[in-house]
């Protein structure tokens, strides 16, 4: 609880005690008015000042204005206790709302505490303590047990078990050593490691996540925009109706104006749209915060809403449904020794970040030979072109060979074909395993309302069909270039049902074009790549397919709570407004319909924060 909340609580307690005293002391007339006016001003002065300030700024019809005229009107009809009680309970509701917002903000911004205030950097052979923001690319940073890694980089010495749960949501620590990449925010549990910074702090994963999360609240969902527009037109309509109720029946029916003014005041108290304008954004904010605790970063409330209505899941294959860690299973050489063909392929792929390329490069020790390679060019959707030993080498799929009029052996498995100076040398066969959680995740996705699953991949049809059949995917589009994926996604979106959406799940390495086309895009961002953070709408800070279904669950839970609050608020208010206009509702029932529903809706909205994080084992 902040100091502001503590002051509000103190004012509520003092005002409640003074209200109780005013009930007890035997006074009348001006002294009775004074006895109730004192607690009223203590608890309500800020609301009155806000309403006056807003009037001068042209913002007349807000909840402060409604509460002010309702409470002052109660004094005019000698309902002193009700006047004070209206403001006390309103402040109680505001306090609940403030605490709830603070809790969700602390949850969603907890990542800001993951970066240490100081870092130990080696400069001129000495250890120097600096702010993480002062670290520059290429510097070596020492991380000791119990310390968090301040920047992204590569371990150059030492080994340690690292707690990655704050970033990835993964409960099991990772054992990493020299040569492994690490991400800012990881916690060293038991070892001293030296990390070579791959960039400055502003370029780190943690810095980008903090910026991403901070901006997420600015992207409103359609429901939120509707509520904002609703409140803008709703409030002046209510004030006009209250004025009509206060004077017109008195002129037509009679029975005195005080009766109708009292009903109009009850009408005003009930009509405050606080429960809607507070609880709906809070529900989305809580959903985003709960997701962030599970390593799921959602860039705005609109994406939560879209994901909850998604009925088609489209997957990239390599690195998404499969591990993306290929191994060379067979070498088919036409003229060279197999070891030499493998070496040429590894050299050609040595500068690529594609999972297949890295697997081939890792299969042979070529660290001393990379100087033989020059003029490396990545050809999207096809492979690599490079100069090796002054000869042009092509390494990629059959399309790359056909594009260069080179005859090659066709294979339905994942193959990398090699050609040198337009002479076909042979091919490598690679195998990739399906992720352990993929089958269960896709089955669970169907239980959550996903009607159709699709694979879009640049891999061969034979390799992709094995994955499709194993996971029981509904539809497959294989051997696609990036533009082919975009075209296939566009077709899926055109054929979707009204009111439903299509989501794309990719590894964030080469799927940016199709991500931009999908209704909502989800990046498997375990590697912390820039494109995963920038091109997608939702980032999973681990590489588990089960996190996709977790995100869908959170979106559906959030939207269910939003709908509950809308129905609760509008239903209750409509009923009490009618009862108040007919004279069957008093000020206390009006207070329940306003402040009571606000508190209930706020507490209900806070349930979105409880997206349980998986326990460590």
Which residues have a Cβ under 8 Å from the Cβ of 196 and sit 6 or more positions away? 138, 139, 140, 141, 153, 154, 155, 156
Of 358, 363, 360, 397, the C-alpha closest to 380 is 397
Give the number of other CB atoms < 10 A from CB of residue 493.
15
CB contact at 8 A, 114 and 69: no
User: Reading across the β-sheet that carries 160-163, which strands appear in turn?
Assistant: 174-176, 160-163, 187-188
Does the annotation count 163 as an active-site position? no
SS3 166: helix
Listed in sequence order, the residues at least 6 apart from 394 whose beta carbon sits closer than 8 Å to its beta carbon are 348, 383, 384, 385, 400, 401, 404, 406, 417, 418, 419, 420
Helix (H) / strand (E) containing 287: helix 274-292
CA distance 196 to 284: 39
CA distance 19 to 48: 19
Torsion angles phi and psi, residue 436, rounded to 5: -60, -35
Q: How many CB atoms lie within 10 A of CB 249?
A: 17
Bridge partners, 322 (sequence order): 434
Helix (H, G, I), strand (E, B) or coil at 512: helix
Task: Provide the token pair at 217.
Answer: 């609240």
- Catalytic residue, chosen from 62, 152, 316, 594, is 316
Q: 284-323: string of b/e by CB count within 10 Å (b at 16+)? A: bbbbbbbbbbbbbbbbbbbbbbbbbbbbbbbbbbbbbbbb
Tokens in use for 40?
């009223």
Residue 612 phi, psi dihedral angles, 5° rounding: -55, 125
Beta-strand pair 310-315/501-506: parallel
**How many residues are given for the chain?**
617
Distance from C-alpha of 109 to C-alpha of 101, rounded to nearest angstrom: 12
Q: Is 44 helix (H, G, I), strand (E, B) or coil?
A: helix
Asked if residues 209 and 169 have their Cβ atoms less than 8 Å apart, the reply is no
Q: Which residues are known catalytic residues?
A: 316
């Amino acid at each position: 609880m902040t100091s502001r909340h503590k002051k509000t609580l103190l004012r509520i307690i003092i005002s409640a005690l003074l209200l109780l005293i005013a009930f007890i002391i035997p006074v009348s007339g001006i002294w009775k008015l004074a006895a109730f006016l004192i607690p009223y001003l203590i608890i309500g002065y800020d609301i009155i000042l806000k309403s006056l300030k807003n009037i001068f700024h042209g913002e007349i019809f807000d909840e402060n204005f409604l509460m002010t005229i309702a409470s002052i009107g109660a004094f005019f009809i000698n309902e002193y206790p009700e006047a004070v009680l209206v403001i006390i309970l309103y402040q109680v509701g505001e306090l609940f709302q403030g605490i709830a917002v603070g809790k969700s903000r602390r949850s969603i911004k907890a990542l800001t505490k993951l970066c240490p205030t100081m870092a130990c950097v080696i400069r001129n052979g000495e250890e120097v303590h600096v702010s993480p923001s002062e670290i520059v690319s290429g510097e070596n940073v020492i991380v000791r047990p119990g310390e968090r890694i301040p920047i992204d980089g590569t371990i150059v010495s030492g080994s340690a078990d690292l707690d990655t749960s704050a970033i990835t949501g993964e409960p099991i620590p990772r054992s990493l050593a020299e040569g492994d990449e690490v991400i800012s925010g990881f916690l060293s549990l038991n070892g001293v490691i030296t990390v070579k910074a791959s960039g400055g702090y502003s370029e780190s994963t943690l810095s980008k996540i903090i910026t991403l999360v901070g901006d997420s609240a600015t992207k409103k969902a359609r429901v939120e925009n509707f509520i904002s527009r609703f409140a803008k037109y709703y409030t002046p309509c209510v004030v006009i109706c209250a004025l009509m109720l206060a004077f017109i029946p008195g002129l037509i029916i009679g029975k005195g104006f005080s009766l109708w003014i009292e009903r109009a005041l009850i009408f005003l108290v009930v009509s405050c749209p606080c429960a809607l304008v507070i609880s709906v954004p809070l529900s989305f904010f809580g959903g985003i915060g709960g997701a962030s605790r599970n390593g799921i970063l959602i860039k705005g409330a609109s994406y939560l809403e879209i994901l909850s209505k998604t009925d088609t899941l489209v997957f990239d294959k390599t690195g998404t449904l499969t591990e993306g860690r290929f191994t060379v299973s067979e070498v088919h050489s036409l003229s060279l020794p197999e070891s030499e063909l493998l070496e040429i392929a590894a050299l050609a792929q040595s500068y690529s970040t594609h999972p297949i390329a890295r697997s081939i490069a890792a299969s042979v020790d070529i660290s001393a030979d990379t100087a033989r390679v020059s003029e490396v060019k990545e050809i999207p959707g096809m492979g690599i072109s490079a100069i090796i030993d002054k000869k042009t080498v092509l390494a990629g799929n059959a399309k790359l060979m056909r594009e260069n009029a080179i005859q090659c052996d066709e294979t339905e498995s994942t193959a990398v074909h090699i050609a040198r100076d337009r002479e076909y040398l042979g091919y490598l066969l690679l195998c990739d395993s399906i992720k352990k959680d993929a089958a269960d995740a896709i089955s669970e996705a169907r239980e959550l309302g996903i009607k159709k699953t699709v694979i879009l991949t640049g891999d061969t049809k034979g390799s992709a069909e094995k994955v499709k059949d194993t996971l029981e995917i509904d539809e497959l589009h294989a051997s696609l270039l990036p533009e082919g994926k975009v075209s296939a996604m566009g077709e899926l979106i055109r054929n979707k049902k009204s009111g439903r959406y299509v989501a794309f799940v990719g590894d964030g390495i080469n799927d940016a074009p199709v991500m931009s086309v999908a209704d909502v895009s989800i990046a498997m961002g375990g590697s912390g790549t820039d494109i995963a953070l920038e091109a997608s709408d939702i980032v999973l800070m681990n590489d588990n397919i089960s996190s996709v279904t977790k995100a869908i669950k959170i979106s559906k839970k959030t939207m269910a709570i939003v709908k509950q609050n809308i129905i609760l608020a509008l239903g209750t208010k409509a009923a009490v407004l009618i009862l108040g206009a007919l004279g069957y509702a008093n000020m206390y029932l009006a207070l329940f319909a306003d402040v009571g529903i606000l508190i209930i809706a706020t507490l209900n909205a806070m349930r979105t924060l409880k997206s349980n994080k998986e326990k460590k084992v």
